[in-house]
Amino acid sequence: MVTSNTSTLRTVFNLLKFTYVIVPIAAGLDKFTNILTHWEDYLNPSLETMLPFSPHIFMMVVGVIEIIAGVLVLVKPQIGGLIVAAWLTLIAITLITGGHYFDVAVRDLAMAIGAFSMSRLSAFAVKSY
pLDDT at residue 129 is higher than 70: no
Q: How many CA atoms lie within 13 A of 118 on its CB side?
A: 30
What are 62-105's pLDDT values in tens digits? 999 999 999 999 999 999 999 999 999 999 999 999 999 999 99
* Number of domains the chain contains: 1
Q: What's the pLDDT score for residue 1?
A: 47
Q: Cα dist. 94→47, 72, 109 in Å?
A: 9, 23, 12
What are 32-68's pLDDT values in tens digits? 999 999 999 999 888 888 999 999 999 999 999 999 9
- What residue numbers bound the domain in which 111 lies? 2-127
